[in-house]
Structure 1
Amino acid sequence: MATARRRTYQLRVALSGAKPPIWRRFLVSPTVALSELHEALQVVMGWENSHLHMFRKGERRYVVPSPFDDDFGTLGLDARKIRLGQLLGKPKDWIAYLYDFGDSWRHRVTLQKILPYDPAVRLPVCIAGKRSCPPEDCGGLWGYYEMLEALGAPGHERHEDMVDWIGSFDPDDFSIDDVNAQLRARWK
């Protein structure tokens, strides 16, 4: 693992099924635990960390154990004990990330490049992205597109309800500066 500490992973996370695509490109250490990667994904994508999540690589699932696991079994292996570099070793390797088991926000996290470690770069850091993340609890992609339709049409039967709920929403809005400010605040 000594060589892994001297590398930086360039990842791309994309919200599966979103058209036009909603994605981010960011840099992390391959030694980051999956539980910490989850926290970075929440920030770079713009989620609020209000729901359960899971990583999947092939048939294996990785979760943060819950106090209820003893009663109901566990959903997978302990994400606090698995390092990203254990699952992604070469460019094009990927893992699935599921956030909010109800709305079912599915993401594909792909290792794009393995870069030399640069001590001047504070990790994690977002380097690119497109489009705003859907709001929490809007009903998955189907609900998100319905929300956009209602917000964009003042005559739509649900327009006023959506405006009351979400206010104004620009699906093209994305600020790399805001994301990186949040990452710096979280990883001091």
Structure 2
Amino acid sequence: MAHVLRGDFSKGKTAPRQTGSDGETVPDYRLLLSVCFSDPLIWRRLLVPGTLTLADLHRIIQISLGWCDSDAHRFLVGKIFYQPRPLAAGQDGAIGYDEAAASLHQLEEGMQFIFTYLYDGGQGWEIELTLEEVVRPPISGGCPVALTGDRGCPPESIGDIHRYQCLLAELDQDQLDRNTVRLSLPGVPDFSVTACDITVINQRLAHLFPGEHH
């Protein structure tokens, strides 16, 4: 079983909202999260209410990948950056808008163009977000759900996917076949290279976003 790391995801808990400002029902979105440059691909497929914000999606991504929300992050949607501190220039000088003020359904067109999540100050992990389906009418009941996924996501403290791939390359096949491996790095626990525990992910998502469970 893959270990989902503990983090404080209680901040910013969001009550489910079912309609947009115009009173129309907001759709759900089926999203594919994939860790860029991972081989074999590390991915999660989610059903996410369109009423949630990018700030909500940040917490959903952290839970889905077993990370602890310990570093900087931002989104690139279309051609616009969104981050927790609005209008503050990043290291590359790009200005980011407030992720907590941007609902997913308001960004639908941009999500179909470019949709990326950058973690660790934009220098480490890059997650490609693919909008696979617009689900109308919505079926989530206001709660994001992890549908499927594959492979354990490496601990964020490793730094980036390239270092992780190098560490795996140093292991022999017998170690990988045993599934649970230790990478001999400070603060990095044993974890499953291949397993993705969808049940644990959904338990944590349900705690953060109560919604209406069916």
Q: 1:126 to 1:91 in 2, by over 3 A?
A: same
The corresponding residue for 1:148 is: 168
The 5 A counterparts of 1:24-43 are: 24-43=44-63
Which one-letter code corresponds to 2:165 in the other structure?
Answer: Y
Q: 1:135 to 1:91 in 2, by over 3 A?
A: closer
Aligned to 1:32, what secondary structure does the other structure show? coil
Q: 1:90 to 1:103 in 2, by over 3 A?
A: closer
Q: 1:105 to 1:163 in 2, by over 3 A?
A: closer
The corresponding residue for 1:182 is: 204
Q: Distance in 1 between matches of 2:103 and 2:153?
A: 26
Q: Distance in 2 between matches of 1:90 and 1:139?
A: 28
Q: Is there any run of 5+ residues in structure 1 with no aligned partner, and where?
A: none
The corresponding residue for 2:191 is: 169
Given the two structures, how large is their TM-score scaled by the length of structure 1? 0.81
Q: Is the contact between residue 45 and residue 147 of structure 2 (CA under 8 Å) also seen in structure 1?
A: yes
Q: 1:38 to 1:172 in 2, by over 3 A?
A: same
Q: Distance in 2 between matches of 1:160 and 1:55?
A: 31
Aligned to 2:192, what secondary structure does the other structure show? coil
Which one-letter code corresponds to 2:162 in the other structure?
Answer: W
The corresponding residue for 2:76 is: 56
Between Structure 1 and Structure 2, the one with more helix by share is: 1
Q: Distance in 2 between matches of 1:45 and 1:138?
A: 14
Q: Distance in 2 between matches of 1:4 and 1:124?
A: 16
Residue 101 (structure 1) aligned to one of 121, 124, 132: 121
Aligned to 1:108, what secondary structure does the other structure show? strand
Q: Is the contact between residue 72 and residue 122 of structure 2 (CA under 8 Å) also seen in structure 1?
A: no
Q: String of CA shifts for 1:18-77, please: whole Å, max 9, x gaps.
A: 1111111111111211111101111112211111110012331101117x949x988411
The corresponding residue for 1:8 is: 28
The corresponding residue for 1:85 is: 105
Identity score, percent = 29
Query: Deviation of residue 153 (structure 1)?
Result: 7.7
Aligned to 1:51, what secondary structure does the other structure show? coil
Q: Distance in 2 between matches of 1:167 and 1:90?
A: 37
Q: String of CA shifts for 1:142-178, please: whole Å, max 9, x gaps.
A: 2112232345489xxxx98717643433210111101
The corresponding residue for 1:65 is: 85
Query: Deviation of residue 89 (structure 1)?
Result: 4.1
Paired positions, count = 181
Q: Is there any run of 5+ residues in structure 2 with no aligned partner, and where?
A: 1-19, 175-180
Which one-letter code corresponds to 1:177 in the other structure?
Answer: T
Given the two structures, how large is their TM-score scaled by the length of structure 2? 0.72
Aligned to 1:172, what secondary structure does the other structure show? coil
